């Protein structure tokens, strides 16, 4: 990475780059209370970091700290992430830095931008954003999709949140030219659910994924790749119950005038309440599984 890069690296990430150790980037929104309630947010961070470390990969959390774009945080800074209230998308990065924001937690789109700026190629998250239902009226389409088309980073995800318009999300990714693959599955996962009924190409080996990702650059393309790993079978929630809850939650959003960035945390809170907290263990399980898959890919790409 060039010395004039806008991204400040942690000591651990700096050393990993110098020593040629694989790195997997992580967003920070999910580890704040904007993602998971306390203390589950801290548990999620520890789970993701330990999973990566146990696979000989260095975890690198992205964030804005004291007006600086960061890849990798020092241990003393994690508490600031847990209590952060400012969410930073790719659109907001320059504003957050220019205005010297004290703490900003990064979304998927911002994290992909940070990873790309730092020359890193593997990022994992829980689920990506997508096209919201009714987007033909509201224009509510997640910047995550734009970022996947703009930054040459491989994103490991458990698909997209089930309350999104999943068929249109996949159509939009096709329009943007982003390859969408299923890890040992030929169906697009829907976060808490392993299946959505939407078919995607299946890949069965890390080597196959690495080959496809490397081919993107060899063709002269700049976009990323979305690899979707379904939530572990034992952690999956009841599909009939989830689809019913989502429909009811979307109706609640309409009645209460909830829109934009407020939709996701509202519906996730509704799901957590309605499932008596079962959605949180499911969230932790899919985060850990994604970190496991991402670590395997990072090792092959660095070999």
The answer to whether 103 touches 136, Cβ cutoff 8 Å, is no
Residues 6+ apart with CB under 8 A from 89: 107, 109, 110, 143
Q: Is 121 a catalytic residue?
A: no
What is the DSSP code (8-state) at residue 187? B
The answer to whether 23 touches 17, Cβ cutoff 8 Å, is yes
Q: How far is CA 300 from the centre of its chain?
A: 21
Beta bridge partners of residue 29, listed in sequence order: none
Cα 102 to Cα 80: distance, rounded to the nearest angstrom: 9
Catalytic residue among 161, 187, 236, 296: 161
Q: Is 99 a catalytic residue?
A: no
What is the DSSP code (8-state) at residue 59? E
The answer to whether 191 touches 223, Cβ cutoff 8 Å, is no
Catalytic residue among 27, 187, 236, 292: 27
Cα 155 to Cα 227: distance, rounded to the nearest angstrom: 6
What residues are annotated to the active site?
Answer: 27, 161
């Amino acid at each position: 990475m060039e010395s004039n890069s806008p991204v400040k690296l942690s000591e651990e990430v700096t050393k990993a780059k110098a020593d040629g150790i694989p790195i997997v980037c992580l967003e920070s929104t999910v580890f704040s209370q904007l993602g998971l309630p306390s203390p589950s947010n801290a548990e999620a961070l520890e789970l993701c970091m330990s999973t990566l470390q146990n696979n000989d990969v260095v975890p690198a959390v992205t964030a804005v700290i004291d007006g600086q774009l960061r890849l990798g945080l020092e241990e003393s800074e994690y508490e600031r992430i847990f209590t952060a209230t400012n969410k930073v998308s790719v659109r907001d990065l320059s504003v957050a830095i220019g205005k010297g924001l004290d703490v900003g937690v990064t979304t998927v789109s911002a994290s992909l931008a940070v990873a790309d700026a730092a020359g890193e190629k593997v990022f994992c998250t829980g689920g990506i954003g997508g096209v919201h239902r009714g987007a033909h009226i509201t224009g509510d389409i997640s910047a995550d999709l734009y970022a996947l088309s703009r930054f040459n980073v491989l994103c490991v995800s458990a698909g997209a949140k089930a309350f999104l318009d999943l068929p249109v999300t996949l159509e939009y990714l096709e329009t943007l030219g982003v390859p969408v693959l299923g890890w040992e599955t030929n169906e697009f996962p829907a976060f808490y659910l392993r299946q959505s009924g939407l078919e995607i190409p299946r890949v069965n080996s890390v080597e196959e994924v690495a080959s496809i990702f490397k081919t993107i650059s060899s063709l002269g393309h700049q976009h990323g790749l979305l690899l979707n790993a379904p939530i572990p079978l034992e952690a999956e929630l009841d599909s009939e119950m989830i689809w019913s809850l989502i429909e009811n939650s979307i109706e609640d959003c309409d009645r209460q005038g909830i829109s934009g960035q407020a939709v996701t945390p509202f519906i996730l809170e509704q799901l957590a309440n309605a499932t008596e907290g079962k959605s949180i263990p499911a969230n932790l399980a899919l985060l850990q599984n994604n970190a496991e898959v991402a670590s395997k890919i990072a090792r092959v790409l660095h070999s």
